[in-house]
Amino acid sequence: MRRRLARERRRVASMKYRTLGRTGIKVSPLCLGAMMFGEWGNPDHDDSIRIIHRALDAGINFVDTADVYSAGESEVIVGKALAAVDRSRIVLATKVHAPMSDDPNAQGNSRRWIIAECEHSLRRLGTEYIDLYQVHRPDEAVDIDETLGALSDLVHAGKIRSFGSSTFPAEQIVEAQWVAERRGRERFVTEQPPYSILVRGIEGNVLPTAQTYGMGVIPWSPLAGGWLSGRFGAGKDNTSRRATRVPGRYDLDVPANQRKLEIVTELASVASGAGLTMIDLALAFVLEHPAVSAAIIGPRTMEQLESQLGAPDVRLDPAVLDRIDEIVAPGTNVNPEDAGWKHPALDRPWRRRRPRR
């Protein structure tokens, strides 16, 4: 423990931390995402803990997980890892919303579930409080005031320090802010959207909205689920565990995914010309946006982690950024499936048609 504390002091001296929105909380520009720790990615708990500790030793003080990742196993692994460090130095985030069992009430954004699941997450994480508790997706079945009321009560009870949203459209972010003001609730202080060179749809709405309300932005999948890591391309095995879960984002029979391959080839040339790896190009692009507080990386192996740690030191030349804009227009999602959430009205024809009489 004493040696680890000494390493923590050394890395704090060299890390350039950013403020998480207007919370006053200082976070590392890279946030360690824990989705790949557990059955979904790396089932070896000891190896996953080593990866977490290496990230902390490198200066990362921000860790993000979710209850649904490997059905709670990720939270357990994170809890084990943080038990060996000074918990007060870590900004710990997790999420609630996704189904955790076949119980229809063990999911969603209701007061009933949020209050219950927060206790479950605290137990799995082995901690007395969560720094940032996030609502993983919108829930049209629940009044946003119900959700904000439950989260506010958790703040007042000391169970969580603050809370945020994840993959919310701009109009629902605005609604939540208005409801919080009018009903006297605590408010969302962060948004966690998908954002990468291939997924730029939020640039025209979510990011400006977050800036308007002083929200911290912590994008997920800055490497576009592996597309921007050099993992996919001509002559390579274009499959992954994630591709099995969300085939619409990877199936090469989908024209938009074929376009991704073409774009990746163009971006590889841009990265090479700038003397960068694709990973550094991709992460530096996300970190360049003034709305972004930290980019979430999700390594499964130590090698993957090491390949991403240097990105905060990279600053892209304006000419490189201009070239990226030429390849993928600002505000564009190359494949709409990568947006992470689609309003239910788009999947239900009856909501778009007048009733027959």
Q: Which residues are known to be catalytic? A: 69
CA distance 56 to 198: 29
Look at residues 73, 58, 121, 56 and name the one whose alpha carbon lies nearest to residue 93: 121
Give every CB contact of residue 65 below 8 A, 6+ residues apart in sequence.
Answer: 33, 34, 35, 37, 74, 75, 78, 93, 94, 95, 125
d(CA 12, CA 7): 9
Residue 17 — φ and ψ, nearest 5°?
A: -80, 155
What is the rounded distance in angstroms from the CA atom of residue 203 to the CA atom of residue 209? 10
Token digits of residue 183 = 């009903």
Q: Which helix (H) or strand (E) holds 192?
A: strand 188-192
CA-atom Rg of the chain in angstroms: 20
142 burial (CB, 10 Å; 0-12 / 13-18 / 19+) is: middle
